[in-house]
Amino acid sequence: MTRTVFALGIAMLLAFAVAAYADPPTIAGPQEGAEVGPSVTVEGTAPGANQINVWTEVHNADTDQLLKSVPGLKHAIGDDGKFNVRIATPRIYFGAEIKLRYEIHAQSSHGTDVIGEAKVVVQPQPQAQTTDTAPATGEAPLVTAPAADAEVGPSVDVVGRAQPGALVVIWTEVYNADTNDSLRQVPGIRHTANADGNFNFRIAVPRVFVGENASLRYEIHVKAAVNQQYTPETIIVVHHHEG
């Protein structure tokens, strides 16, 4: 018993020593200011760590307000200290007047001890809102309606293009706009796109009541699947029609 306790104590001291003296992670790619698609491979080094947590944050570039935190991936790190993980950097439309800043965060840890965090700022690749061609295989669906900042409800037609014959999945999420807390996820529709990739499906965007002073953010999420492989999401931020 005494030997077991002693061994555990030594192990904890070693873990603490590793976490205390290891360097914060570094991100080698993508580069600062790079244009990224709806997903991106993040690579770098995390000395002394055995796990890396990588995720995306979307901020208002003018006010620095956090608009959305996109869960990423926790990944084990080998003895070489290198990591290479792919995470989502979804296109999110908050309206033409809002300039967005996408931040990729990487936090390294050893056991339960956080070692440090690195950040790189990237730009989402522009995607035209009207086109005669369907997105390439693996790309997020193109949504042409509703437009960002549109007033919708209690239902709305979602129009766009995906890979021909792809399974299109559309649903609504409601957030507290001030705290970014998720309030409700509304099931939507799962239906195949036409032979030319076009789709036009109606989903529910119900009014959610959480208090008179609450500011709400409604998000319409769209993704597609081909051969059981889902694309990244396209997210359109809209307002609920109060009339």
Token code pair at residue 100: 């967005």
Range of the domain at 223: 142-240
| Same domain (yes/no): 28, 118 | yes
Query: To the nearest whole number, what is the mean pLDDT of the chain?
Result: 85
pLDDT for the residue 2? 57
Report how far residue 57's alpha carbon sits from residue 92's, in angstroms, rounded to the nearest whole number.
11
pTM of the model as a whole: 0.68
Q: Residue 28, SS3?
A: strand
> Is residue 170 situated within a structural domain?
yes
pLDDT, tens digit, 9 for 90 and up, residues 116-165: 999 999 998 765 444 567 787 788 898 989 988 889 989 999 999 999 99
**C-alpha 155, offset from chain centre:** 25
Side chain identity at 123, as an amino acid letter? Q
Question: Has residue 57 got a pLDDT over 90?
Answer: yes
| Same domain (yes/no): 185, 152 | yes
> Is residue 137 situated within a structural domain?
no
> Is residue 44 situated within a structural domain?
yes
| Same domain (yes/no): 179, 112 | no
| Same domain (yes/no): 109, 167 | no
| Same domain (yes/no): 146, 108 | no
Strand ranges inside the chain, DSSP E: 26-29, 35-36, 39-45, 51-60, 66-76, 82-88, 91-93, 100-110, 113-124, 142-145, 151-152, 155-161, 167-176, 182-192, 198-204, 216-226, 229-230, 234-240
Cis peptide before 30 (omega within 30 of 0): yes
pLDDT for the residue 215? 82
N-term to C-term CA, the chain? 71
pLDDT, tens digit, 9 for 90 and up, residues 75-118: 999 889 999 998 888 878 777 678 889 999 999 999 999 999 99
| Same domain (yes/no): 100, 195 | no
